[in-house]
A and B are shown apart, each in its own frame.
Chain A
Amino acid sequence: MRKQGKQSWVYENPIYINATGTAVGPREAKGPLAGTFDKSFENLHCDEGNWELAERKLMETAVQSCIEKGDITKEQVDLFLAGDLLNQNVTSNYLARSLSIPFLCMFGACSTSMETLAVGSALVDGGFANHVVAAVSSHNATAERQFRYPTEYGGQKPKTATSTVTGAGAALISKKKSSIRVEAATIGKVMDYGAKDPFDMGSAMAPAAYDTIKTHLEDMGRLPSDYDLIATGDLSGVGSPIVKDMLKEDGYNVDQMHNDCGLMIYNSDQEVFAGGSGCACSAVVTYGHLIQALEKGKYQRILVVATGALMSPTMVQQKESIPTIAHGVVLMREEGQ
């Protein structure tokens, strides 16, 4: 039985993350997790001619690093699952053009990191692929242009705003045993509690994270205490307390084990408003810091719930509210590795 409960998948075969790759921009490299990334670029342009190329370079670097660390060749990868935040997913599509690995493009806004990991693991579990690379990227400047204003525009942002993480993360998934096992996943429903403010995505996404965490615990018959960490993707300083209080109303207290990747990635004195966001936020924190903490034995089992605001500037201007989604993946430490 791979399907468990309403929305959860438990992989029948042991599925592992053999290697991860991360690349970040200059601001992330000044944060508290600086030492956990494979590569950090000193300038936001990543030595490229424009922002879109910079983002592509980030994803390319992360994927390369992941494949190298996984000790396999590009030709051995059966499937590349990737997504980003830009229109037509240009970063992923254009990188896939040069990789020439069979490719499925995915979009779940900032939840794409766990979406690709969950689906990639399912495909390996089902025997449709032996090696899958799951990758995502986001870039502060491309996201500003896509969703907000030109990067140098002097508009004032409220404190509830988040700051898109510049970076990319990739994971190599296979059945080959390693120290990190992908145990289960919970696929989220699109939730919309009527929040309309694109400068407060933490509030908009909290119900999606709440629903996925709650459903996950019910489906798996588990309690929050079964996890050493429940990490949400990018709820920031605004959404994190909301999701904790929402879960409390259902009798789940996650105060002890909850943290948010958007709060982990930057120091409190970095000017990032309410915290970090973007596909890369959950990806670089999970594929860097969290995986390393699992390897070291600091954690035994964690739940990463990547949250995505499925926002479009056109829809926001047409006064529509912001639909959101969250996908959860359970990672656990495999002993004896």
Chain B
Amino acid sequence: MSKKFNQQQYNNTIKEYQPKPALLGNCLKAFLVGGLICTFGQVLTELYMNFMDMSEKEAGNYTVTTLILIASLLTGFGVYDKIGQFAGAGSAVPVTGFANSITSAALEHKSEGIVLGVATNMFKLAGSVIVFGVVAAYVVGIIRYVIKLIL
């Protein structure tokens, strides 16, 4: 039996053959694109506040909605997955990434019909985000409540 390549060692042996992910480059790209998306969001909020006479809270809701709309359109036009390949977490973490996960799943399952295709599968990827979002909010809420009782 061969020495360098054997079944037990295989996953270690092949590491030298696998191209290394460009960690620093990927982090920078994610930082830049993620930052750009957030800056764009801030610009939108300012515009809504200054030109449409909204409070900061109202403007925030409109900003999120606008970003979701843009991300969904970009997904439909086949652009968002290319941004995602470039930016990684930079375009996955903001709300635009959430919108992309829902829109892409909805598009993918369109051929299976509105109810069992689109509606059933829409949250296939985003479902876990919602579950953990709700659970985390609940846990943090309880902690906050307990601290408030103690103080």
The interface of chain A, by Cβ under 8 A from chain B, is: 49-52, 145, 149-160, 193-195, 200, 203, 206-207, 210, 237-238, 241-242, 245-246, 249-250, 274
Known contacts A152-B104, A245-B4, A249-B3; A158/B10 CB under 8 A: no
Knowing A207-B10, A249-B5, the reply to whether A160 touches B19 (Cβ < 8 A) is yes
User: Is there an interface contact between A150 and B107, defined as CB atoms closer than 8 Å?
Assistant: yes
Interface size on B, residues (CB 8 A): 40
With most chain B CB atoms within 10 A of its CB, the pick from A149, A153, A159 is A153
Query: Chain B interface secondary structure, helix, strand, loop or mixed?
Result: helix
The answer to whether A242 and B17 touch (CB under 8 A), given A153-B105, A154-B91, A156-B88, is yes
Which listed residue, B17, B26, B81, B111, touches A152 by the CB 8 Å rule? B81
Q: Is the CB of A153 within 8 A of B17?
A: no
A50 to B112, CA, bound (A): 10
B3 touches A195 (CB 8 A): no
Contact A153 B111 (CB under 8 A): no
Given the interface pairs A158-B21, A160-B18, A245-B5, the reply to whether A153 lies near B10 with Cβ below 8 Å is no
CB-based contact B4/A149 at 8 Å: no
Quick one: closest A residue to B90, CB to CB?
A156
Chain A interface helix/strand/loop/mixed: loop
- Inter-chain CA distance A181–B132, complex, in Å, is 59
A152–B85 contact, CB under 8 A? no
Which residues of the other chain, B, contact A242 by a CB distance below 8 angstroms?
Answer: 5, 14, 17
Contact A152 to B75, CB < 8 A, known contacts A50-B111, A160-B19: yes
Q: A152-B80, A249-B4 are in contact. Are A159 and B19 (CB under 8 A)?
A: yes
Contacts of B124 in A (CB 8 A): 150
Select which of A150, A156, A159, A160 is within 8 A of B104 by beta carbon: A150
Instruction: Give, as a whole number of angstroms, the nearest-CB distance from A218 to chain B.
Output: 14
Contact among A149, A150, A203 with B17 in the assembled complex (CB-CB below 8 Å): A203
Pairs A–B under 8 Å by Cβ, sample size 13: A150-B124, A150-B125, A152-B75, A152-B78, A153-B81, A153-B125, A154-B92, A156-B92, A160-B18, A193-B7, A242-B5, A245-B5, A249-B5
User: Which of A156, A157, A195 is close to B11, meaning CB atoms less than 8 Å apart?
Assistant: A195
The answer on a CB contact under 8 Å between A153 and B2 is no
A149 B104 Cβ-Cβ under 8 A:
yes
CA distance A160 to B20 in the complex (A): 9
Per CB-CB distance, the 6 closest pairs between chain A and chain B, nearest first, are: A154-B84, A150-B108, A50-B111, A249-B2, A193-B10, A150-B104
One of B39-47, B55-63, B95-103, B133-141 at the interface: B95-103
A156-B87, A195-B11 given; 17 more Cβ-contact pairs under 8 Å: A150-B105, A151-B108, A152-B81, A152-B103, A152-B104, A153-B101, A154-B83, A154-B92, A155-B81, A156-B84, A156-B92, A195-B10, A203-B14, A207-B7, A238-B18, A242-B17, A245-B5
Determine if B76 is an interface residue (Cβ-Cβ < 8 Å): yes
Per the bound structure, the CA–CA distance linking A143 and B76 in Å amounts to 19
A152 to B74 CA separation, bound complex (whole angstroms): 9
Q: Is the CB of B10 within 8 A of A145?
A: no
Query: In the docked arrangement, what's the CA distance between A241 and B16, Å?
Result: 11
Point out the residues of chain B lying under 8 angstroms from A207, CB to CB: 5, 7, 10
Whether B125 pairs with A154 at a CB distance below 8 angstroms is no
Q: Is there contact, CB below 8 Å, between B85 and A154?
A: yes
Alpha-carbon distance between A47 and B35 when the two chains are bound, in angstroms: 40
A200 to B19, CA, bound (A): 10
On chain A, the residues within 8 Å of B3 by CB distance are: 249
Structural contact, A155 and B84, CB atoms closer than 8 A: yes
B85 touches A250 (CB 8 A): no
Which B residues touch A238, using CB under 8 A? 17-19
Complexed CA–CA distance, A109 and B54 (Å): 57
Report Cα–Cα, A51/B75, bound state, in Å: 17
The smallest C-beta distance from A317 to any residue of chain B, in angstroms, reads 12
Please, which residue of chain B has its CB at the minimum distance from the CB of A241? B17
Alpha-carbon gap, A250 to B104, bound state (A): 47
**Contact, CB under 8 Å: A246 / B5:** yes
A159 CB to nearest chain B CB (Å): 4
Closest to A155 in B: B84
With A150-B125, A155-B84, A249-B4 already in contact, the answer to whether A52 and B111 are too (CB < 8 A) is: yes
Residues of B within 8 A of A237 (CB): 19
Say yes or no: A154-B5 contact (C-beta < 8 A), given A193-B10, A195-B11, A242-B17.
Answer: no
Asked if B108 and A145 make an inter-chain contact with CB atoms under 8 angstroms apart, the answer reads yes
Distance (Å) between the CB of A74 and the closest chain B CB?
Answer: 29
Chain A residue contacts of B5, Cβ below 8 A: 207, 210, 242, 245-246, 249
